[in-house]
Amino acid sequence: MYQLHPYFTNDGSVGLFSPEADDIYHSTYGALSEAYEKFILPADLENYFKIHSEIKILDICYGIGYNTKSFLNFLIDKKFLDIKNKNFSEFFFKKIVKKFCIKNENIVPIDTDNIIHPQYSDQLDIDNIRCSDEIYSNNSSRDSEGENKFINTITSDTIYSNNISTKNSACNQQNKKIFVKAIDTDEKLFYLSPFLRQGNKKDKKYNKLDFNYEKISKLLDNEFSSKYKISQEVNLIVFKNIVEKLPQIFDDKDFESILKFRKYSPFFDRKMLDLFWASKSNRDINNHARSLSTFIHNIYYKYISIRYKKTLNSLILDDFIFEPSIMDARVSLKQDNNIYNFIFLDAFTPAKCPALWSLEFFKLLFSHLDKDGMILTYSNSSAVRNAMLNAGFYVGKIYNKGINKFTGTVAVKNKSLIKYDLSEYDLGLINSRAGIFYRDENLTLSNEAILEAHKKEIALSDKISSSAFIKNYMKQNKEINQK
Ligand SMILES: C[S@@+](CC[C@H](N)C(=O)[O-])C[C@H]1O[C@@H](n2cnc3c(N)ncnc32)[C@H](O)[C@@H]1O
């Protein structure tokens, strides 16, 4: 049976413990905060979008998707991706999910090549549908005039969802694209990613850990402080893409029992669960995932098409391409011809998962990084930095103003992108035994084999040990300060 060990981290986002890796997937400090502060903020995406109209992101170790989701949230927040309307998710759930769940009708997907048929607006009329207030109580503020306006507009014969960008020449000039490739060996985590909710104060009671990992229980006593939040639209976008790209989600019995397991329910978003069950029961036997996906796509697209005319500077949802890859990142990247602008590397620690921190893996990443691209990671390990340097990168540090600390490492091809250089101390450590990097010549070794060889190399090395280096360094600095 698949094992899941969720807990709420200190920012209310859900973290996981992996018994297999005997490690946490997410820091107790906050899974979401970590994603923002270690990947999204240092990427300086606002500046990036001042000069670029396309972006390719490689999310290595997607897990439950915080890095990709934070990225999407950032795009929506900053209006780089235009799906934002404060009523949109309410509309979506009220109209669509309820339609699915309560009436249990088979809604025929509308072909994007076809003109929207006026009948479609009838399908969206929910006035006669019973209301499950518990779930939808948030929707009471929805103003009915807005809904009618929406329905009237989408029935207009002039909207052809596939033709929007070709019809409007201004749109072509703004033809931005967002591509995210997400890799993880664990498909269940992909499936789970759209369902997780953010907890609040009351949810602390669910933090009774069912695993023994002292570090966590000690650190989880704080109140939630949610600096960052993922909007509902992000989970919808991820859901749409997951069911489209990984339709086997509907047939996975283990996954189904995870979603049904009471113990886990506090960690899941009820609305997203409803959407899952609704889509599962309404799917077309031959074409189940596509039908839901086309359906959602159409809803989005029609909605967006109206707004699109007003906001030509923004991206539309179809400009977002998500490619999940369920396999070892080394195998996946060997088969990949993409060049990425940003690479998020979120692979546990080097000592736990050296296969994704080896010299050879960084060489592979070098061949996938744009000349102005950037690899971001939270690792400060000297062995990792040395592997990056030997793979041909310039290496710098990530600085977090909020806590006045260096919190990670960046690797680039264009030196001018480095804001915080490695210090003399960092370079000294890199030249000590601590800087001996992991080797995986053909990118096929197991983590255990890599660790074993690394241990041997350290034992045979005549380099200065890191502790001796630190001692000398402190002594010299003290002498200089005393002079
Ligand atoms: C620290 S967690 C990543 C957390 C994730 N970014 C998130 O937002 O949930 C590490 C992930 O690495 C994945 N992983 C470990 N070895 C891998 C490999 N060789 N290739 C791809 N993924 C791997 C694990 O399945 C796990 O999901």
Cα 385 to ligand 1 centroid, rounded to whole Å: 20
pLDDT beyond 90 at 467 = yes
5, 34, 184, 451, best to mutate for ligand 1 pocket (most atoms within 8 Å of CB):
184
Taking CA atoms, 383 is separated from 96, 296, 353, 398, 454, in Å, by: 51, 46, 13, 17, 10
Decide: 329 in ligand 1 pocket, CB within 6 A.
Answer: yes
Euclidean distance between CA atoms 83 and 73, whole angstroms: 11
Amino acid 194: pLDDT: 95
pLDDT beyond 90 at 241 = no
Q: Is 393 helix (H, G, I), strand (E, B) or coil?
A: coil
- Whether residue 112 contacts residue 297, with contact meaning beta carbons closer than 8 Å, is answered with yes
Q: How confident is the model at residue 152 (pLDDT cuts 50, 70, 90)?
A: very low
Cα 296 to ligand 1 centroid, rounded to whole Å: 29
pLDDT beyond 50 at 308 = no
Amino acid 82: pLDDT: 61
Euclidean distance between CA atoms 191 and 245, whole angstroms: 11
Residue extents of the structural domains in the chain: 88-164, 347-482
Q: Which amino acid is at 368?
A: H
DSSP 330-375: HHHHHT----EEEEEE--S-TTT-GGGSSHHHHHHHHTTEEEEEEE
Q: How confident is the model at residue 255 (pLDDT cuts 50, 70, 90)?
A: very high
pLDDT beyond 50 at 140 = no
Residue 69, token pair as written in the block: 């989701």
Burial category of 20 from C-beta neighbours within 10 Å (exposed 0-12, middle 13-18, buried 19 and up): exposed
Cα 189 to ligand 1 centroid, rounded to whole Å: 9
Dihedral sign of CA atoms 280, 281, 286, 287 in order: negative
Closest CA to 422 of 409, 435, 434, 438: 409
Closest CA to 232 of 101, 124, 139, 330: 139
Closest CA to 2 of 199, 349, 264, 289: 264
Q: How confident is the model at residue 274 (pLDDT cuts 50, 70, 90)?
A: confident
Closest CA to 320 of 297, 338, 337, 289: 297
Provide the 10 A C-beta neighbour count for residue 310. Answer: 8
Amino acid 131: pLDDT: 25
Euclidean distance between CA atoms 287 and 268, whole angstroms: 27
Each residue's pLDDT tens digit, 334-390: 999 999 999 999 999 999 999 999 999 999 999 999 999 999 999 999 999 999 999
- Whether residue 392 contacts residue 359, with contact meaning beta carbons closer than 8 Å, is answered with no
Cα 394 to ligand 1 centroid, rounded to whole Å: 25
441, β-bridge pairs: none
Dihedral sign of CA atoms 389, 392, 396, 397 in order: negative
Ligand 1, residue 35: give the atom nearest the CA.
Answer: 8
The residues near 375 (Cβ < 8 Å, ≥ 6 apart) are 342, 343, 345, 365, 369, 388, 393, 410, 411, 412
Each residue's pLDDT tens digit, 413-450: 999 999 999 999 999 999 999 999 999 999 999 999 99
Q: How confident is the model at residue 271 (pLDDT cuts 50, 70, 90)?
A: confident
- DSSP label of 159: -
Give me the count of residues in the chain: 483
Decide: 185 in ligand 1 pocket, CB within 6 A.
Answer: yes
370 phi, psi to nearest 5 deg = -65, 155
Q: Say what percent of the chain tops pLDDT 90.
A: 50
> Between 32 and 18, where is the model more confident?
32
Q: How far is CA 426 from the centre of its chain?
A: 30
Amino acid 40: pLDDT: 96
Decide: 67 in ligand 1 pocket, CB within 6 A.
Answer: yes
Amino acid 300: pLDDT: 54
37, 61, 198, best to mutate for ligand 1 pocket (most atoms within 8 Å of CB):
61
Instruction: Tell me the average pLDDT of the chain.
Output: 77
Euclidean distance between CA atoms 193 and 454, whole angstroms: 34
Each residue's pLDDT tens digit, 278-299: 778 765 433 444 555 555 555 5
Q: How confident is the model at residue 411 (pLDDT cuts 50, 70, 90)?
A: very high
pLDDT beyond 90 at 36 = yes
Burial category of 366 from C-beta neighbours within 10 Å (exposed 0-12, middle 13-18, buried 19 and up): middle
Q: How confident is the model at residue 156 (pLDDT cuts 50, 70, 90)?
A: very low
Ligand 1, residue 68: give the atom nearest the CA.
Answer: 8
Amino acid 313: pLDDT: 39
- Average confidence (pLDDT) over 115-120: 30
Nearest CA to ligand 1 atom 12: 61
> Between 306 and 325, where is the model more confident?
325
Closest CA to 305 of 479, 463, 93, 159: 159
Ligand 1, residue 69: give the atom nearest the CA.
Answer: 8
Amino acid 224: pLDDT: 76
Amino acid 284: pLDDT: 46
**To 5 degrees, how large is the angle CA 442–CA 443–CA 445?**
95
pTM of the model: 0.80
Amino acid 237: pLDDT: 85
From first CA to last CA, the distance across the chain in angstroms is 65
pLDDT beyond 80 at 91 = no
Decide: 355 in ligand 1 pocket, CB within 6 A.
Answer: yes
Helix axes 288-308, 232-245, angle to 10 degrees: 140
Q: How confident is the model at residue 98 (pLDDT cuts 50, 70, 90)?
A: low
- DSSP label of 395: E
pLDDT beyond 60 at 178 = yes
Identify the weakest region by mean pLDDT among 92-101, 361-370, 454-463: 92-101
Amino acid 220: pLDDT: 73
Euclidean distance between CA atoms 196 and 270, whole angstroms: 9
Cα 65 to ligand 1 centroid, rounded to whole Å: 10
Closest CA to 280 of 269, 270, 291: 291
Cα 184 to ligand 1 centroid, rounded to whole Å: 5
pLDDT beyond 90 at 453 = yes
Cα 427 to ligand 1 centroid, rounded to whole Å: 29
DSSP 191-209: HHTTTB----GGGGGG---
